[in-house]
Amino acid sequence: MIAQAADAIRKGELRARELVESCLSRIAGLDGLLGCFLSLDGERALERAARIDEELARARQRGAGAAGPGGMRAGTREAAAEADGVLAGVPYACKDNICTRGLRTTCASRILEEYVPPYDATVVHRLARAGAILVGKTNMDEFAMGSSGENSAFFPTRNPRDTTRVPGGSSSGSAAAVAAGLVPFALGSDTGGSVRQPASFCGVVGMKPTYGRVSRYGLVAFASSLDQIGPLTLTVEDCALVMEVIAGHDPRDATSAQVSVPNYREALGRDVGGLRLGVPREYMGEGIEPGVREAVNAALRVFSDLGCVVEECSLPHTEYALAVYYLVAPAEASSNLARYDGVRYGLRVDAGDITAMYSRTRRQGFGPEVRRRIMLGTYALSAGYYDAYYLKAQRVRTLVKRDFEQAFSRYDLLLAPTSPTVAFRLGERTEDPLSMYMADVCTIPVNLAGIPAISIPCGESEGLPVGLQIMGPPFAEVTILQAAHAFEQATAGAPWRKREGERR
């Protein structure tokens, strides 16, 4: 769909400015109810769209089909390159923990309420270079900590499929904005499932790439060894297209992988017959809602029908993943969030001395979930507890990783539900952090192992979307997208697909 829009814009059948205007008016109409956006950048978006339209018109006049090289004045060279990009004129939204130069980046936290970064994240830069137009920054759980979108310091986001329900989190605003058709695509970040789980709750496609596949430069860190930026889109093809733009080595990120990026879209049509798919039994047992299990089982039958070999398998250390995650992630977060102290930027609450200033600023600036995790992490790293908690968690993390390595020696991909449940009601779990943590139980192991995974809509339960999670070995995004696309094609006529289409 994005590709078609970009194509129409390139041919002059659709003006980028019109597309941006329609996004902005849809946002104006619906976002009061949904709460997807924390900041909008309408004026700049419209300016950029107009510039791209102009460039494209000029290029069409020259008949080259694209902006020709040479002879261009400085300043327009950039515009010409944007107009020539694969996403030229396509609007998008970006989670508010990804830095945007000149546009505030709050992480949905009081402590960064007025913070305006002086630089763009690498992904934002790459999307701009490809011609994509940022329309605004989306709501999220504060510092990406949460699974429902209710931990925003400003206001919660609602699920467009049922506004009494949560959209999932922490990339709540991004998932809901795409699901509600406010923007064609959005970026989220996934530390323990924060792209896939809301994608599942909102009925859209969400991918968490291999760790190191997409640069983290400019992503405000929550847990550095787990965080990864990923796209939220309506279709698998759109996901592949955005991945092509944002993936690839970045010299500004030392953990960024030096692995070349394949042409994901080209691979989409390939036959998936003969693919070996494992279904880990640990993801299909107790705790998985019957409706979810049913939808996933139906999806497995689709894959069988496509000629895939579908077998049950085992990832024996899955049961420890949640505990490992809740030691490693808070430990890293406690250190990453230490810089928010009121000294250099963001909120400062004045006090008699520097120590009091630190603690009052942090107490007022951070919400309860963030404070809870900072304390957990500080404790896990402190002298005398390090070995028992952090170090042990890292050892178990290795076991979780090894589980996947062994599974991938036998299977091309692994299939599982994205979430044990469909979207729950707003307020339903806010008083019970542990039940909230369970929302990410199916997605967390993927982050611990650093492997790629996607969540795609695979059916409905209680009239709400169910997500299918497809996991692959490192850098096998291409196989994942291929399988996801094949499933999407095969279920194009399914009744739940039809209802989905009607709703839009």
Tell the smallest beta-carbon distance from residue 382 to other proteins (Å).
5
The rounded distance, in Å, linking the Cα atoms of 348 and 367 is: 15
* Catalytic status, residue 200: no
Q: Which is nearer to other proteins, 98 or 486 (CB)?
A: 98
Q: Which residues pair with 205 in a beta bridge?
A: 233
Tell the smallest beta-carbon distance from residue 279 to other proteins (Å).
31
127: tokens are 């999307």
The rounded distance, in Å, linking the Cα atoms of 176 and 170 is: 11
* Catalytic status, residue 334: no
Q: Which is nearer to other proteins, 297 or 394 (CB)?
A: 394
The rounded distance, in Å, linking the Cα atoms of 318 and 399 is: 9
Kindly name the residue from 109, 152, 170, 419 that is annotated as catalytic.
170
Residues whose CB is less than 8 angstroms from the CB of residue 498 and which lie 6 or more positions away in sequence, other chains included: none
Residues whose CB is less than 8 angstroms from the CB of residue 401 and which lie 6 or more positions away in sequence, other chains included: 448, 449, 450
Interface with other proteins (CB under 8 A):
97-99, 105, 107, 112, 115, 117-119, 121, 216-221, 223-225, 251-255, 331-332, 334-335, 338-339, 341, 343-345, 354-355, 358, 378, 381-383, 386, 390
Q: Which is nearer to other proteins, 112 or 441 (CB)?
A: 112
- Which one, of 209, 173, 176, lies nearest residue 190 by Cα? 209
Q: Which is nearer to other proteins, 163 or 378 (CB)?
A: 378
Return the SS3 of 468. Answer: strand
How many CA atoms, within 13 angstroms, populate the side-chain half-sphere of residue 3? Answer: 13
Q: Which is nearer to other proteins, 175 or 223 (CB)?
A: 223
* Catalytic status, residue 461: no
Kindly name the residue from 147, 172, 194, 455 that is annotated as catalytic.
194
The rounded distance, in Å, linking the Cα atoms of 305 and 491 is: 11
Tell the smallest beta-carbon distance from residue 245 to other proteins (Å).
19
The rounded distance, in Å, linking the Cα atoms of 335 and 333 is: 5
Amino acid present at 240: A
Residues whose CB is less than 8 angstroms from the CB of residue 332 and which lie 6 or more positions away in sequence, other chains included: 221, 222, 223, 224, 225, 226, 377
Q: Which is nearer to other proteins, 255 or 314 (CB)?
A: 255
Tell the smallest beta-carbon distance from residue 129 to other proteins (Å).
19
Tell the smallest beta-carbon distance from residue 48 to other proteins (Å).
22
Return the SS3 of 369. Answer: helix
- Which one, of 471, 466, 427, lies nearest residue 451 by Cα? 471
Tell the smallest beta-carbon distance from residue 267 to other proteins (Å).
29
Active-site positions read 95, 170, 194
